[in-house]
Structure 1
């Protein structure tokens, strides 16, 4: 996603309102007119405890956004909003219980009224029902190459990865090059079959597996010869390079599927 598209998204109510809420305490404490009215203080400065909370928030956001695989400004904002709002809730309660309650009500209302915008662009993705649904598709026609994403709806890295996978599927999807997704949170049998952990501490979410002729060819992230998982950054360019999608696309396009002739019925 380009920087211009990120800026365009920032004017959407979800990002605009959440940015204001995330910065509310700092702005209230640093703007004299607001500070004097709310806190009845002549000197509007952050004290030691408030600075510690904000510094801790910064560390948490940096760690969590890296684990979530955030690669754009919008990804970083989306991953950091919840932590920033919780820190603001603590700060408002620390300053005044009444203001903390008011902020908490606003926090909850924003979550109910302004859900995070989802990807609305083109995609060519088939959503599969567990290991059985995937196996049926792989066996239906072994001439079809599949790139399958294993994910959970609650994992931030999977949420950030969703629009990237959708864009790639729209760009490369063919009759014999298909893209699928399996929610292993809903269908844990698929995670068990392909050795993908769906725990909250899992470093395997999301996972991409390339299937050719019904067999697994490669996956990301993958383990080295010692069994240690090698971290993989799920950007569009990295995925295209890791799975050699340009050459696979060219090969599939040059050898389109031909309809198999039906056997003639025997005459009675």
Structure 2
């Protein structure tokens, strides 16, 4: 006599699960997240908040930022799996991740493009001199800030495209010169969302900055990309003005 088959038909199993209220309600609850995310949220939330929540740098982030996001999600998944197996194992992973965080930081982008690393005194001197660039786009960052590390590639790459005799690019590390932060109106507190801050100076005076100093910008800053900075500071317009001799 042949052995009775123990295989389970996947379609039969799925139909059985859907017919059970326990599984059905869980499935409906799970998929309701997508309905809320794409319909309800779009009606109640501000447009730039939607951009932050739903399109957080999926295609615009650098590889460094993408890898950092992937590692962060992997840590969460690993912790969740370890917690279900043994809480002591989960605590062990927390300790390991804390030690790694203290001993090793994600490396910043090493290239400078045509931008210059400046001290606050050098920047002040360049802005005061009449024979330097009319416009200066300066990034105020801190080497210990993960947000600054994630976006450290943006300004150097912009400088390669947009540098000219009228527009120069500079970087000031507020981690090395914290006293300059207050003078520039930049908070070193990570909770304020002002690291990094980009300021455009014209003839020594500030004419624009990102993020702007308002309540919403502190908590819902979009992902910093080259396109965002180019649009915010109108770099294409400034380049055209230089090309046309204005």
- Fold match by TM threshold 0.5: yes
1:198 positional shift? 0.7
Task: Tell me, in whole angstroms, the C-alpha distance in 2 between the residues paired with 1:194 and 1:106.
Answer: 35
Contact map agreement 2:108 2:149 (CA 8 A) in 1 = no
Contact map agreement 2:136 2:169 (CA 8 A) in 1 = yes
Matched, 1:234 2:224: yes
1:254 positional shift? 4.8
Q: Which of structures 1 and 2 has the larger relative contact order (alpha carbons within 8 angstroms, sep 6+)?
A: 2
Task: Tell me, in whole angstroms, the C-alpha distance in 2 between the residues paired with 1:192 and 1:110.
Answer: 28
Matched, 1:140 2:132: no
Matched, 1:250 2:240: yes
Contact map agreement 1:85 1:107 (CA 8 A) in 2 = no
Partner of 1:199: 189
In structure 1, list runs of 5 or more residues that go unmatched: 1-64, 257-268
CA offset digits 1:1-39 (Å, max 9, x no partner):
xxxxxxxxxxxxxxxxxxxxxxxxxxxxxxxxxxxxxxx
Provide closer, same or farther for how the CA distance between residues 96 and 238 of structure 1 changes in structure 2, counting only shifts above 3 A: closer
Partner secondary structure for residue 200 of structure 2: strand
Partner of 1:219: 209
Task: Tell me, in whole angstroms, the C-alpha distance in 1 between the residues paired with 2:102 and 2:113.
Answer: 27
Q: What is the TM-score with the length of structure 2 in the denominator?
A: 0.60
Task: Tell me, in whole angstroms, the C-alpha distance in 2 between the residues paired with 1:203 and 1:106.
Answer: 24
Task: Tell me, in whole angstroms, the C-alpha distance in 2 between the residues paired with 1:96 and 1:228.
Answer: 39
Partner secondary structure for residue 189 of structure 2: coil
Partner of 2:199: 209
Partner secondary structure for residue 164 of structure 2: coil
1:72 positional shift? 2.9
Matched, 1:95 2:86: yes
1:158 positional shift? 1.4
Task: Tell me, in whole angstroms, the C-alpha distance in 2 between the residues paired with 1:80 and 1:110.
Answer: 16
Partner secondary structure for residue 153 of structure 2: helix
Task: Tell me, in whole angstroms, the C-alpha distance in 2 between the residues paired with 1:183 and 1:135.
Answer: 14
Provide closer, same or farther for how the CA distance between residues 72 and 232 of structure 1 changes in structure 2, counting only shifts above 3 A: closer
The number of residues matched between the two structures is: 185
1:140 positional shift? 2.5
Task: Tell me, in whole angstroms, the C-alpha distance in 2 between the residues paired with 1:125 and 1:151.
Answer: 14
CA offset digits 1:185-226 (Å, max 9, x no partner):
221222101211011212222111111111111111113xxx
Task: Tell me, in whole angstroms, the C-alpha distance in 2 between the residues paired with 1:91 and 1:115.
Answer: 25
Partner of 2:68: 78
1:95 positional shift? 2.5
Q: What is the TM-score with the length of structure 1 in the denominator?
A: 0.55
